[in-house]
């Protein structure tokens, strides 16, 4: 009897590569526009054809400087066209782009650069004063300055534009690589310890880009005008720059101008169809816009029909409703540096197409459903998975081809990875029968009162739904009887006075039990934030220790 041989795929063994996305942009989208707002607020315009040529020149310039495969090239830059060139030019030359978070303390930036062993640095000229505060602590061999002004770049610094002018882009050849070779790295926020490096590959980045561009995720199209407010040093701006290059959509970079007035001004000049940023950015923007309707009517218009991707922290339902009144839909996603970062997205599944408005808002305020290629589970303290009933909670654990399986030069530990290889996120959530994830809290931010858990996130979102509240952050404070109780730190909207009794009544009306109400309130001028715009609860605990 003949032996049946397994059938083999006939597909070409082509490795996934960012270089394909770069070539695609240069070949198919050469005339599509890229706009950057410069420090003086002027706009620089060029296109994907220029981007393609300049990026190849950057790759050749780095090779001329002696870049070797796997060398780390750090960037200390705002969101603009040259930073986009680094996203593709550094890996095209075989290097690894390492985005440095310019909002960190100088000593912390130095620690991260040294831990990554960054060899070269690309820095904006407007950030040279920041660099001066930590340059002596680092071992950068070459520092390349991107010049926004006409002032000369003094030695020993190198002028980015001069390097590109001198490089022969025609002789540039992509450095040979494998799809699992590194292309970029980002460091975690490090709010509970030293930051850790997460290294992304050609393969993981291309797959993340493909998933992100799907209709139920970013829904990115070539006709879109994308404004990435999320910093390009924060989880690679959620991967959106790669998606924009792949689709050839118009990019509008805000540069260093992230104040609500500046963003609204830019939206008048270059109306986006898609924007992305953390909730605090959009809270400030909608408050500024709505105040202007009374103080400066007609100054601004919000882009009709714009979609806004919001992540980095839980999005209050009140914020979604506020934007929807003006024809802008906020789409929430959840993820982290370790997940590239897109892991879940909230969208209208088919079974909710005809749901009423309240249900639509309720779903939009959830973290959403897992994106394709990402597996997710809620693991309880007893080691079993929480049922998908929308009530039982557990730690979110994930795995997938763009989920990190380790940290840069850090031993794999049980507190970060399960015994069977899943990433332990530290976020606590429930999942319902439709696959929607609802983030309950970070494990370190849950409040255990009298043996029962209270979600600080739920309290915050409800408080921010009150008409007088601009922002609210809730932390645990020690209690001799109940172990812990909630403390609500609240920021009033301009011209409003906080009535804490009214806030408690508002919480009770929104389904909270009396024992879940804050033990006390503190009115504060602003909620402290981390370098990525999240509420910095460690600082609040220092401000209100008991």
What is the distance between the alpha carbons of residues 150 and 385, in angstroms, rounded to a whole number? 60
What Å distances lie between residue 27 and 20, 174, 471, 496, CA to CA? 10, 16, 47, 55
Report d(CA 361, CA 363) in Å as an integer: 5
Identify the bridge partners of residue 253 per DSSP, sorted by sequence position: 36
Write out the H or E segment, with its range, that includes residue 491. strand 483-492
Element (DSSP H or E) covering residue 131: helix 128-132
Is position 57 annotated as part of the catalytic site?
no
Kindly give the pairing relationship between strand 329-335 and strand 307-310. Answer: parallel
Query: Would you state the structure tokens that stand for residue 424, as one six-digit string?
Result: 């332990």
DSSP label at 296?
S
* 519 noted as active-site residue: no
CA 106 to chain centre: 21
- Helical H segments across 221-345, by residue range: 240-247, 260-269, 279-295, 317-324
Q: Is 188 a catalytic residue?
A: yes
Residue 14 CB partners (closer than 8 Å, separation 6+): none
Catalytic pick among 41, 194, 448, 496: 448
Give backbone dihedrals phi and psi of 269, rounded to 5 degrees, phi first.
-80, -40
191 belongs to the catalytic site: no
Nearest residue to 213 (alpha-carbon basis) of 395, 394, 400, 342 = 342
Catalytic residue (one of 338, 395, 471, 484) = 338
Find the catalytic residue in 162, 179, 349, 453: 453
For 319-388, give the DSSP string.
HHHHHHTTT-EEEEEEE-GGGSSEEEE----GGGTT--HHHHHHHHTS-BEEPTT-EEEEE-TTSSBPPS
> C-alpha distances in angstroms, 352 versus 105, 298, 357?
45, 36, 10
Burial class (CB in 10 A: 0-12, 13-18, 19+), 11: exposed
Residue corresponding to tokens 């009374």:
294
For tokens 């973290």, the residue is 367
Is the distance from CB of 429 to CB of 392 less than 8 angstroms?
no
Q: Which of 319, 423, 408, 419 is nearest to 376 (CA)?
A: 423
Active-site positions read 188, 338, 448, 453
């Amino acid at each position: 009897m003949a032996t049946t041989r397994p059938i083999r795929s006939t597909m070409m063994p082509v490795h996934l590569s960012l270089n394909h996305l770069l070539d695609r942009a240069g070949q198919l989208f050469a005339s599509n526009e890229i706009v950057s707002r410069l420090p003086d607020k002027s706009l620089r315009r060029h296109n994907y054809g220029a981007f393609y040529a300049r990026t190849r020149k950057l790759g050749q310039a780095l090779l001329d400087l002696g870049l070797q495969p796997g060398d780390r090239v750090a960037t200390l830059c705002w969101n603009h066209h040259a930073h986009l060139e680094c996203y593709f030019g550094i890996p095209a030359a075989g290097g690894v782009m390492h985005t440095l978070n310019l909002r960190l303390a100088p000593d912390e930036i130095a620690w991260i650069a040294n831990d990554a062993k960054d060899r070269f640095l690309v820095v904006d000229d407007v950030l040279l004063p920041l660099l001066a505060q930590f340059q002596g602590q680092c071992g950068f061999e070459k520092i390349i300055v991107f010049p926004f002004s006409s002032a000369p770049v003094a030695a020993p610094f190198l002028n980015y534009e001069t390097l590109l002018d001198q490089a022969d882009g025609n002789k540039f050849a992509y450095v040979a690589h494998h799809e699992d070779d590194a292309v970029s790295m980002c460091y975690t926020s490090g709010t509970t310890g030293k930051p850790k490096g997460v290294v992304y590959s050609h393969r993981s980045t291309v797959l993340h880009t493909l998933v992100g561009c799907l209709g139920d995720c970013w829904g990115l199209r070539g006709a879109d005008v994308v404004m990435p407010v999320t910093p390009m040093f924060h989880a690679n701006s959620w991967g959106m720059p790669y998606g924009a290059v792949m689709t050839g959509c118009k990019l509008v970079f805000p540069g260093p101008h992230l104040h609500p007035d500046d963003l609204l001004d830019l939206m008048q000049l270059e109306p986006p169809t898609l924007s992305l940023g953390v909730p605090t950015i959009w809270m400030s923007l909608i408050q500024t816009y709505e105040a202007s309707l009374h103080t400066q009517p007609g100054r601004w218009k919000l882009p009709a029909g714009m979609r806004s991707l919001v992540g980095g922290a839980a999005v209050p339902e009140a914020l979604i409703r506020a934007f929807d009144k003006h024809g802008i839909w906020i789409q929430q996603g959840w993820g982290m540096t370790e997940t590239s970062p897109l892991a879940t997205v909230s969208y209208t599944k088919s079974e909710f197409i005809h749901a009423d408005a309240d249900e639509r808002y309720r779903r939009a305020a959830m973290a959403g459903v897992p994106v394709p290629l990402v597996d997710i589970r809620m693991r309880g303290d007893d080691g079993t998975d929480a049922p998908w009933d929308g009530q039982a909670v557990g730690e979110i654990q994930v795995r997938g081809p763009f989920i990190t399986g380790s940290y840069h030069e850090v031993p794999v530990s049980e507190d970060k990875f399960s015994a069977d290889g899943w990433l332990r996120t530290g976020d606590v959530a429930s999942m319902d029968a439709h696959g929607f994830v609802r983030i309950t809290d970070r494990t370190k931010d849950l409040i255990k009162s009298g043996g029962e858990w209270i979600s600080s996130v739920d309290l915050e979102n409800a408080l921010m739904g009150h008409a007088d509240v601009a922002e609210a952050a809730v932390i645990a404070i020690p209690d001799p009887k109940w172990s812990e109780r909630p403390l609500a730190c609240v920021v009033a909207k301009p011209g409003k006075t906080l009535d804490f009794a009214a806030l408690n009544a508002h919480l009770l009306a929104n389904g909270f039990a009396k024992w879940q109400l804050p033990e006390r309130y503190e009115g504060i001028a602003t909620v402290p934030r981390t370098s990525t715009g999240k509420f910095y609860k460690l600082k609040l605990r220092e401000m209100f220790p008991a």
